[in-house]
Amino acid sequence: MSPSTFEKILKEYFSKGTDHLLPNVSINCIVFGYDHPNLKVLAQKIPFNDLDSWVVPGGFIEREEELEAAAHKILKQSGIKDVFLKQVGAFGGLEKMFDQPFIESELPKEYFEIVEWISKRFVQVVYYGIVNFHDTNLLSDEGVLNSAWMNIEDTSKLPPSHTHLVHETKKKLITETITDPIVLNFFPESFTLNQLRGFYEAILNRPIDRGTFRRKYLSMGLLEKVDEKSAERGRPSYLYKFNKVKYLDSLNEKVKFGF
Amino acid sequence: MSPSTFEKILKEYFSKGTDHLLPNVSINCIVFGYDHPNLKVLAQKIPFNDLDSWVVPGGFIEREEELEAAAHKILKQSGIKDVFLKQVGAFGGLEKMFDQPFIESELPKEYFEIVEWISKRFVQVVYYGIVNFHDTNLLSDEGVLNSAWMNIEDTSKLPPSHTHLVHETKKKLITETITDPIVLNFFPESFTLNQLRGFYEAILNRPIDRGTFRRKYLSMGLLEKVDEKSAERGRPSYLYKFNKVKYLDSLNEKVKFGF
DNA sequence: TCAAAAGTGTTTGGTCTACACCCATGC
DNA sequence: GCATGGGTGTAGACCAAACACTTTTGA
């Protein structure tokens, strides 16, 4: 534990005290990025102790602030702006995030009020976000928390409750990937159909036929052809961008059951 | 407004004060029942004023109580036990549920602390439940809040924020009806396939072919034939019950996209 | 010219749709 | 018997899976 760094965090987060914040409720954000063929999760290194500890971005809500606005505010601190966000739900385990007696033993008395505040039970309202990994610039060392991408296969550096959030959220991501084309938020301005297919193969964890995928996806009418692209090897592929208007419409449709 | 009744409510809800409760977080439950061909929602009449005001069941969370446990606890007060519950999410509008100055003007000073507590902003964690309408006995006048079924088409007696919750939750119910067989929770021990089809027609708001429905549903393997049933008119139909083991398995499967 | 990857055509098989037809019961 | 609704059979449309074939590039 390095008290000085932890003090810096407390000073930055609670420069205006705790009275302006909603107690007992916190926001956590699970931000996914896709770096073929890996799904990544945004995490922050915290200097609670000398171990290599990471957390998922989180923060608090102003007394007069909408929940989703708070989530956007929190992600802006990591350099993530204008992100696609959806709520996962409220998680309310009884375990506390902080060990109050231990933390207090390492800090001057002036922080005790804040420490008591953050040591209470919190209901976590969780949002997930999707960003285009390669167009995103994380703010590092801007504050005291360093942001970095973490491979979703290895979340062992997160506390158990955050690992739980990541896994629950990934389940939801997979479900929504199947019913909605939210996936398109992972991609840059323009992309090839085979890159898109690569993502579906990664997330559904099985191969998908090129022809079938191409015909099905194009028939949805969400994509528009733009240009050519020089391939690394082999024949170049067309680039597509997605039609945001039709995309937003499609979010209200969902799949049909088949009766 | 009838202060005496409102006093009774406060006395009952806050007999142990507010310290044992988590502040700023509440639970609301949207409970659906199906009374062919209508979808019903559980509501409670409240004596805030002389108007015919209703709310959706709600309540608070003990400091050391899981969220879903709190939802079950709240519904037990209406006579709803062992209900199928799923979380809808957290709703955090900024509007307050109570008009503090007005309420205080009608109550003795001893209640002011409680009134202040409930007049704060609350993040509402919403659960939805599904019950078999005909096997459910609501507790009426057991406490001070009378429970009753409300037709989902007319929620005009609810406050706007609760109407919003009902509609958002109904959307979710429809989506989940399409992807999961949660519907079976609406039905009694045994039921006919045509009753089941009637429900799908009601919720999807379109006719479904008898043959197609029957073949598709039976092919899922969730149902088991039990006995005969005397029809009101015409040929009697088979009764089915659902296989709870396979049903629980199926909740983890969801529909496939079709790639 | 060959390898590699994109793009397209075609056969096959499954399944939903629509509708016709038969079955079991009450009156 | 006949009306009423339950249960089943089936032809056609449709669509995804699988795979072969063609096209376009780099080397």
pLDDT for the residue numbered A214 = 95
What CA–CA distance (Å, rounded) separates A192 from A237? 6
What CA–CA distance (Å, rounded) separates A27 from A57? 8
Which of A17-31, A94-108, A219-233 ranks highest by mean pLDDT?
A: A17-31
**Which carries the bigger pLDDT value, residue B184 or residue A232?**
B184
Helix (H, G, I), strand (E, B) or coil at B202: helix
State the average pLDDT over residues A150-164. Answer: 94
**Which carries the bigger pLDDT value, residue A230 or residue B57?**
B57
The confidence band for A165, taking pLDDT boundaries of 50, 70 and 90, is: very high
Cβ of B125 within 8 Å of Cβ of A94? The answer is no
Least confident of A92-96, A107-111, B16-20, B252-256: B252-256
Low-confidence ranges of chain B (pLDDT < 70): 1-4, 48-50, 141-144, 230, 252-259
pLDDT for the residue numbered B198 = 92
The confidence band for A256, taking pLDDT boundaries of 50, 70 and 90, is: very low
**Which carries the bigger pLDDT value, residue B224 or residue A47?**
B224
What global pTM score does this model have? 0.92
Q: Output the CA–CA distances (angstroms, integers) from residue B20 to A174, B17, B60, B223, in the order listed.
A: 39, 7, 10, 45
State the average pLDDT over residues A162-179. Answer: 92
> Which stretches within chain B are classed as H helix?
3-13, 67-76, 100-105, 112-118, 160-179, 193-204, 210-219, 244-250
Residue to mutate among B18, B19, B22, with most A CBs inside 10 A, is: B22
pLDDT for the residue numbered A1 = 47
Interface residue A85 vs chain B (CB under 8 A): no
> Which stretches within A14-96 are classed as H helix?
67-76
Asked whether residue A72 carries a pLDDT value surpassing 50, the answer given is: yes
Element counts in chain A: helices (H) and strands (E): 8, 9
Give the residue on B whose Cα is nearest the Cα of A213.
B259
Domains and CATH numbers, chain A: 3-179 (3.90.79.10), 182-250 (1.10.10.10)
- A92 vs B67, B200, B258: nearest CB: B67
The confidence band for A50, taking pLDDT boundaries of 50, 70 and 90, is: low
State the average pLDDT over residues A205-233. Answer: 88
pLDDT for the residue numbered A46 = 82
pLDDT for the residue numbered B1 = 47
pLDDT for the residue numbered A47 = 72
**Which carries the bigger pLDDT value, residue A50 or residue A73?**
A73
State the average pLDDT over residues A186-195. Answer: 93
* Residue B146, beta-bridge partner list: B45
Identify the sign of the CA torsion B223, B229, B232, B236.
positive
What CA–CA distance (Å, rounded) separates B91 from B102? 25
Asked whether residue A259 carries a pLDDT value surpassing 80, the answer given is: no
Interface residue B202 vs chain A (CB under 8 A): no
pLDDT for the residue numbered B255 = 47
pLDDT tens-digit series, residues A4-25: 677 888 888 899 999 999 999 9
Chain A residues whose CB is inside 8 A of the B66 CB are 92-94
Interface residue B23 vs chain A (CB under 8 A): yes
Nearest-Cα distance to chain A for B119, in Å, is 13
